[in-house]
């Protein structure tokens, strides 16, 4: 059995200094969180844009990396701009329909709708049509607000780039992203040289495990969430729910944390209520159709999407994800929410690379003794 090192004064001083450094870094990070948020976002963007930059540089043989970066950013901007102008008319129509229904919902007596179940009308009158909530919605011109949001966003995308660059935060993130992408390959392959040779191999293993864990969650889960959001949008549109696209994409976003999309059934019930008031359809029948959409998409996700896209990779467990978001968010605010999953993945990578390895060695030595 391996002998444990005695706790000497030198080791104790090192532990104290290490603890002070860690607490100091935490304090500095918290104080500079507002400044670090654009940089952290830029790191995320650079990490996921770099494969497209490499595509232009290696596959299309662009000799200058700067030209590859510009082409990648231009392609992404062009894609999302085209996507927005493609779905903006549908979204505008959905917002108008939903705003009219919500105004109607808070201006009429729900008990007058005989085709609604009594349990639904009682719950609505008690909780959803509270006088304070009703006054709030009745004082808002939701249709006008929705129209302005779509119009303003469309004008930003369709207007001069100076409008976009006038938003200082976006401009700073863009600059950071370009700077990081410019030296991305140098940083990627050069950072081990900054580590002492004694710890270089372990550090490379740690970062490799961290990158694999990050990829297995973000990239694969993002693809799954996007497909799930599209399928929910199609399903809700088929059964005629208001805000079908918004609701579907919201559930897809919730799906970034596995199985959290079930929470989407709560706003779906409100949309079912609005749809029943508008069309006179049976509330329970529409609820059943909505449940079928959830069941079909969930079945497709579990039987096809996850096995094909996620494969054998194991990302963070849903409970670990929610716990890490809560802890890091309470410690560092918005910055903590941004770095929660990468930081947790790094800690787990360290645990697998060193702690578990040391445990296995310990049990092997114990068995030999």
pTM, two decimals, is: 0.64
- Alpha-carbon distances of 318 from 108, 195, 217, 313, 314, rounded to whole Å: 41, 34, 11, 15, 11
Write down the pLDDT at residue 258.
65
Predicted confidence (pLDDT) at residue 263 exceeds the cutoff of 60: yes
Under the banding of pLDDT at 50, 70 and 90, the label for residue 358 is low
Closest CA to 102 of 267, 312, 262: 267
Write down the pLDDT at residue 199.
75
Write down the pLDDT at residue 295.
93
Structural contact between residues 137 and 106, judged by C-beta atoms closer than 8 angstroms: yes
Q: How many CB atoms are closer than 10 A to CB 92?
A: 16
Predicted confidence (pLDDT) at residue 151 exceeds the cutoff of 60: no
pLDDT digits 0-9 by tens, 24-60: 877 887 787 777 878 888 888 888 888 899 899 888 8
Under the banding of pLDDT at 50, 70 and 90, the label for residue 133 is low
Mean pLDDT, the chain, integer: 76
Under the banding of pLDDT at 50, 70 and 90, the label for residue 163 is very low
Write down the pLDDT at residue 236.
93
Predicted confidence (pLDDT) at residue 368 exceeds the cutoff of 70: no
Residues 143, 72: Cα–Cα separation, whole Å: 37
Predicted confidence (pLDDT) at residue 314 exceeds the cutoff of 60: no
pLDDT digits 0-9 by tens, 173-199: 888 888 988 888 888 788 788 788 877
Write down the pLDDT at residue 102.
73
DSSP 280-346: ---HHHHHHHHHHHHHHHHHHIIIIIIIIIITT-----HHHHHHHHHHHHHHHHHHHHHHHHHHHHH
Long-range contacts of the stretch 210-213 (C-beta < 8 A, 24+): 210/342, 210/345, 210/346, 210/349, 212/313, 213/315, 213/316, 213/345, 213/348, 213/349
pLDDT digits 0-9 by tens, 65-90: 889 999 999 999 999 888 888 887 87
């Amino acid at each position: 059995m391996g002998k444990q090192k005695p706790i000497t004064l030198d080791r104790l001083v090192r532990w104290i200094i290490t603890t002070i450094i860690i607490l100091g870094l935490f304090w500095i990070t918290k104080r500079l969180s507002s400044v670090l948020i654009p940089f952290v976002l830029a790191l995320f963007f650079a990490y996921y844009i770099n494969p497209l930059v490499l595509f232009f540089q290696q596959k299309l043989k662009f000799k200058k990396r700067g030209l590859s970066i510009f082409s990648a950013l231009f392609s992404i901007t062009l894609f999302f701009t085209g996507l927005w102008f493609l779905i903006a008319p549908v979204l505008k129509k959905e917002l108008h329909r939903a705003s009219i229904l919500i105004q109607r919902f808070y201006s009429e007596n729900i008990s007058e709708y005989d085709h609604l179940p009594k349990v639904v009308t009682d719950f609505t009158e008690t909780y959803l049509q509270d006088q304070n909530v009703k006054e709030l919605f009745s004082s808002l011109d939701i249709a006008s607000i929705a129209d302005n949001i779509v119009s303003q966003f469309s004008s930003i995308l369709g207007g001069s780039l100076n409008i976009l660059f006038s938003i200082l935060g976006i401009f700073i993130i863009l600059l950071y992203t370009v700077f990081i992408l410019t030296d991305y390959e140098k940083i990627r392959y050069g950072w081990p040289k900054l580590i002492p040779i004694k710890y270089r191999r372990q550090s490379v293993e740690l970062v490799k495990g961290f990158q694999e864990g990050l990829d297995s969650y973000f990239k694969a889960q993002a693809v799954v969430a996007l497909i799930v959001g599209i399928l929910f949008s199609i399903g809700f549109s088929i059964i005629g729910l208001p805000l079908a696209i918004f609701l579907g994409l919201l559930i897809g976003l919730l799906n970034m944390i596995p199985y959290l999309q079930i929470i989407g059934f709560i706003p779906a019930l409100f949309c079912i209520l609005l749809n029943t008031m508008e069309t006179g359809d049976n509330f329970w029948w529409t609820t059943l159709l909505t449940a079928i959409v959830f069941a079909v998409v969930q079945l497709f996700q579990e039987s096809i999407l996850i096995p094909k896209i996620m494969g054998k990779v194991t990302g963070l467990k849903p409970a670990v994800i929610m716990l890490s978001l809560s802890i890091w968010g309470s410690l560092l605010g918005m910055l903590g929410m941004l770095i929660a999953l990468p930081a947790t993945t790094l800690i787990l990578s360290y645990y697998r690379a060193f702690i578990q390895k040391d445990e296995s060695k310990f049990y092997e030595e114990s068995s030999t003794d």
